[in-house]
Amino acid sequence: MQRTNIEWADSTWNPVTGCHNNCPYCYARSIANRFKSSIETIAKKCRVSALAFTPGKNDATYEGEYHCPFPFGFDPTFYRERLAEPQSKRKPQRIFVCSMADLFGPWVPDKWIKEVFNACKAAPQHKYMFLTKFPERYELLYRKELLPELPNFYYGTTINIEYQMDTAYWTYNPKVRTFLSIEPITDPFPMIGYELPTLFTHDMVIVGAETGNRRDKVIPKREWIDPIVRECAATCVPLFMKDSLIPIMGEENMIRELPEGLKL
Ligand code: SF4
């Protein structure tokens, strides 16, 4: 686990890394590929017990004292030795689970997700925040009775462009706590034609701008943000603006709300 600058979390925890999505603004892929270990390094230093180097089927377990960051680059990889980390932290934290992966991508086996959930359950002092671009997986897990209905588990969905709006519906499940992360906002947020009460029946909405220096970086306009502010206010949904919006909104207009259940 690592302390994080992500404003809505205290730390990140990555028992699984990697993703087969191809988002152009993905910071996680750049980091993973930068620190990817060579096969020679893994063999000499890390003593990885399972070297199943098949994309999507990696299941690496470290045995040695050395640590190899991203032994398989950005291919999905499960680090079982990290599962106990939340238990080692007694002070309650908001933990962003798998900030370097999409834990709910269709390539991730149910058993990995189940082990991650079990590790979270073993450290109930923390709040766990999950985030995916595949919220339909929440629904599939729910139907299999594998999605914990716990008050400290928050299931988030990242949306940023219009066609992804439809995916937001998958996250609506009154039995579990959910949130939307509109980040990075890359287009005017579509409001017309959607059932706003359904869309905003979540426990929180996060909105942020793209960061970094990508050549085609999108700088959002204030008029893209204002409708979200209005809808959240009208539906009493806590809104959390990330600091990346300060240049657009001005510090005096920033809103940083959390639902009661996420307050420590
Ligand atoms: S879904 Fe997330 S982790 Fe996967 S490529 Fe996109 S931004 Fe990166």
Say if strands 16-17 and 11-13 run parallel, antiparallel, or are unpaired: unpaired
Q: Which pLDDT score, from 0 to 100, does residue 198 have?
A: 55
Task: Give the position, in ligand 1's atom list, of the atom nearest the Cα of 25.
Answer: 7
Closest CA to 156 of 173, 132, 127: 132
Domains and CATH numbers, the chain: 2-13+90-262 (3.80.30)
pLDDT at 119: 98
Residue nearest to atom 2 of ligand 1 (CA): 102
pLDDT at 235: 85
Which DSSP string do the residues of 72-129 spell out, in sequence order? TTTS-EE-GGGTTHHHH--S--EEEETTTB-TTSTTS-HHHHHHHHHHHHT-TTSEEE
187 in helix, strand or coil? coil
Helix (H) or strand (E) segment spanning residue 17: strand 16-17
What per-residue confidence (pLDDT) applies to 61? 59
* The predicted structure's pLDDT at residue 208: 94
**How far, in Å, is the centroid of ligand 1 from the Cα of 234?**
31
Pocket flag, ligand 1, residue 103 (CB < 6 Å): no
User: Ligand 1 atom 8: the closest Cα is on which residue?
Assistant: 26
SS3 call for 215? coil
Q: What is the C-alpha to C-alpha distance for residues 254 and 229, in angstroms, rounded to an integer?
A: 10
pLDDT at 49: 47
Which of 172, 114, 171, 181 lies closest to 148 in space, CA to CA?
114
Cβ pair 250, 243 in contact under 8 A? no
Ligand 1 contact via 23 beta carbon (within 6 Å): yes
Helix (H) or strand (E) holding 139: helix 136-143
Please work out whether the CB of residue 126 comes within 6 Å of at least one atom of ligand 1. Answer: no
Give the per-residue pLDDT at 192: 47
Q: Indicate which atom in ligand 1 lies nearest the CA of residue 22.
A: 5
Which residues, in sequence order, are CB contacts of 26 under 8 Å at separation 6+? Answer: 19
With a CB cutoff of 8 Å and minimum separation 6, the contacts of 34 are none
> Whose C-alpha lies nearest to ligand 1, atom 6?
23
Name the one residue in this structure whose structure tokens are 């082990």: 115
Residue 250's region, left for phi above 0, alpha for psi from -120 to 50, else beta, is left
* pLDDT attached to residue 129: 98
Looking from the CA of residue 27, the nearest atom of ligand 1 is 8
Let me know: does 188 contact 161? Beta carbons within 8 Å.
Answer: no
Find out whether the beta carbon of 26 lies less than 6 Å from any atom of ligand 1: yes
**Which of 12, 16, 17, 19 to probe ligand 1 with, by most ligand atoms within 8 A of CB?**
19
Q: What pLDDT, on a 0 to 100 scale, did the predictor assign at position 53?
A: 42
The Å distance, Cα 23 to ligand 1 centre, comes to 6
pLDDT at 51: 42
User: Cα torsion at 43, 66, 19, 143 (round to 10°)?
Assistant: 110
pLDDT in tens, 141-191: 999 999 999 999 999 988 866 556 566 655 667 889 999 898 888 877 655
User: DSSP code of 62?
Assistant: B
**Is 99 in contact with 3 (CB distance < 8 Å)?**
no
Regions in the chain scoring below 70 on pLDDT: 37-67, 160-172, 189-200
Tell me which of 14, 20, 29 to substitute to probe ligand 1's pocket, judged by most ligand atoms within 8 Å of the beta carbon.
29
102 ligand 1 Cβ < 6 A: yes
